[in-house]
């Protein structure tokens, strides 16, 4: 651990003094995170009570000292009481899975609220997403989907699935879902168990459509709105860079009542139904976010989408899926959708689908020489080239030399990798389905052929929480 900055030391001392009993139970060590509504500190459990009660949630790294560390989440007083209660209550409900960070302890003094969770040694997503091989991606997704399977089984929508909220250790092959600050219970009307899977066959079904029979047309035209000048979308090819000057998609004198819906989430990871203000959002919005993470892995690009508002976010999706599919998606939610005069946006998007989109992004990096010759990204690129041309591509000699494979072993490895890519793209398509009613659930994705080799080893979720004991002190 490096030297802690003086301002952080002062901040931790202030916190320890502000909450009676805190410094007798926890020793603050460092500040490890900060968000809009909270700060997170690494601390030592001085009494060992948290470790004892929640031992199965702490990863065994072989370092006994690390098992004494916890994370203290200081929730800012600017958070509403309902928001604080909601997060703590949901964390308490979710203590039965080792892939979800449990609420181990909680302290409150006046307006100071602190949640105590396990500390996990993990790697920053930016440090490994460009180098993780396909089997590593498979393990990452398996861990994330198992966490979501458990969360969704409790009727909870996380709403903020993104790499920083899924702490993953590539060395251990373990991950844990954190930060339920935006999470909410899924209402009965949203639950697929109530509507049944037959709703997936309905071309124009969404309960939000019946709430307002006429929402009018959302129109997007080229303009000179100052907010959009000079901005480029990170994942869009150069042909789409003309999409920078846009007016907001609302008539100047609108008299109809605006659509209201929960739009909470992180830009770039929000599902189409969130962007279109669907009031019937479900756990499927989390699955879309999983798809965006997978897209970043395969294209070796992060962030994938980063527009600043809903209009631009919809345009980014138009670049990939085309206006025809986006109009159909809008119609599902009782909306019109019209995009006019924007270069780089076509009716059909990428005709080869997401696979062609990824191939074009990788091709740009290959041409620019940004990947080293031994980069694992070439496996994905060669598979996609072969997929689009139908030609057979032999394993690269450079890869054989770099990893000391025999010709037989290399051929076997090559076949496995290409098979994994085939099924991985199927999972990607199932995640990034515009219609939420046809989008797969976490359980359905885990039953995909892509995860078959992991089923016997680790796809069984634990639900034994008999020895998880929570003590909340006031």
Tokens standing for 341? 């005069």
Contact 53, 102 (CB under 8 A): no
Q: What SS3 class is residue 192?
A: helix
Q: What SS3 class is residue 116?
A: strand
Rounded CA-CA distance 348/289 in Å is 23
Q: Who's near 236: CB < 8 A, 6+ residues apart?
A: 243, 316, 319, 344
Q: Is residue 184 within a helix (H) or strand (E), and if so which, with residue range?
A: strand 184-185
Other beta carbons within 10 Å of 80:
9
Tally of CA atoms within 13 A in the half-sphere of 473 that contains its CB: 10
Residue 303: cis peptide before it, omega within 30 degrees of 0: yes
Rounded CA-CA distance 323/339 in Å is 7
- Residue 52 is labelled as binding a ligand: yes
Tokens standing for 456? 């016997």
CA 379 to mean position of chain CA atoms: 24
Q: Which of 105, 160, 312, 420 is catalytic?
A: 160
Rounded CA-CA distance 149/141 in Å is 12
Which residue is listed with tokens 């181990």? 104
Tokens standing for 300? 């070796």
Could you confirm whether 160 is annotated as catalytic?
yes
Rounded CA-CA distance 25/473 in Å is 12
Span between the terminal Cα atoms of the chain, in Å: 32
Q: Can you state the angle between helices 407-431 and 353-368, rounded to 10 degrees?
A: 130
Q: How many helices (H) and strands (E) does the chain have?
A: 17, 12
Rounded CA-CA distance 29/44 in Å is 7
Which residue ranges make up the annotated binding site for ATP? 52
Which residue ranges make up the annotated binding site? 52
- The catalytic residues are 160
């Amino acid at each position: 651990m490096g030297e802690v900055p003086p301002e952080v030391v002062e901040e931790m001392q202030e916190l320890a003094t502000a909450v009676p009993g805190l410094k007798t139970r926890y020793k603050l060590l460092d500040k490890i995170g900060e968000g809009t509504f909270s700060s997170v500190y690494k601390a030592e459990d001085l009494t060992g009570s948290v470790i004892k009660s929640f031992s199965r949630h702490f990863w065994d790294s072989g370092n006994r000292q690390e098992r004494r560390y916890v994370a203290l989440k200081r929730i800012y007083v600017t958070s509403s009481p309902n928001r604080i209660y909601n997060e703590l209550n949901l964390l308490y409900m979710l203590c039965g899975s080792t892939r979800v960070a449990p609420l181990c302890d909680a302290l409150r003094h006046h307006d100071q609220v602190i949640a105590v969770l396990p500390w996990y040694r993990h790697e920053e997503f930016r440090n490994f997403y460009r180098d993780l091989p396909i089997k590593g991606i498979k393990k990452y997704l398996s861990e994330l989907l198992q966490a979501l399977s458990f969360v969704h089984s409790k009727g909870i929508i996380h709403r903020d699935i993104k790499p920083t909220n899924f702490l993953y250790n590539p060395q251990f092959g373990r991950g844990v879902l954190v930060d339920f600050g935006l999470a909410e219970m899924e209402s009965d009307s949203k639950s697929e168990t109530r509507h049944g899977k037959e709703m997936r066959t309905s071309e124009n079904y969404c309960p939000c459509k019946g709430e307002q029979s006429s929402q009018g047309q959302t129109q997007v035209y080229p303009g000179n709105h100052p907010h959009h000048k000079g901005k480029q979308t990170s994942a869009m090819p150069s042909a789409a860079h003309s999409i920078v000057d846009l007016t907001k998609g609302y008539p100047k004198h609108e008299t109809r009542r605006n659509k209201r819906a929960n739009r909470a989430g992180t830009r770039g990871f929000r599902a189409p139904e969130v962007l279109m203000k669907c009031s019937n959002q479900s756990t499927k919005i989390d699955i879309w976010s999983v798809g965006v993470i997978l897209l970043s892995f395969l294209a070796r690009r992060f962030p994938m989408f980063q527009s600043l508002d809903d209009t631009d976010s919809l345009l980014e999706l138009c670049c990939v899926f085309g206006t025809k599919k986006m109009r159909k998606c809008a119609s599902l939610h009782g909306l019109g959708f019209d995009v006019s005069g924007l270069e780089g946006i076509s009716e059909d998007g990428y005709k080869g689908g997401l696979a062609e989109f990824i191939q074009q992004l990788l091709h740009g990096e290959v041409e620019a020489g940004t990947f080293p010759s031994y980069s694992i990204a070439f496996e994905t690129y060669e598979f996609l080239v072969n997929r689009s041309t139908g030609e057979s591509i032999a394993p690269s000699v450079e890869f054989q030399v770099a990893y000391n494979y025999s010709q037989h072993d290399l051929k076997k490895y090559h076949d496995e990798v290409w098979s994994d890519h085939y099924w991985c793209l199927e999972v990607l398509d199932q995640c990034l389905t515009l219609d939420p009613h046809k989008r797969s659930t976490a359980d359905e994705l885990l039953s995909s052929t892509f995860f078959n080799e992991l089923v016997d080893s680790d796809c069984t979720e634990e639900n034994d929480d008999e020895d998880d004991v929570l003590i909340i002190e006031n």
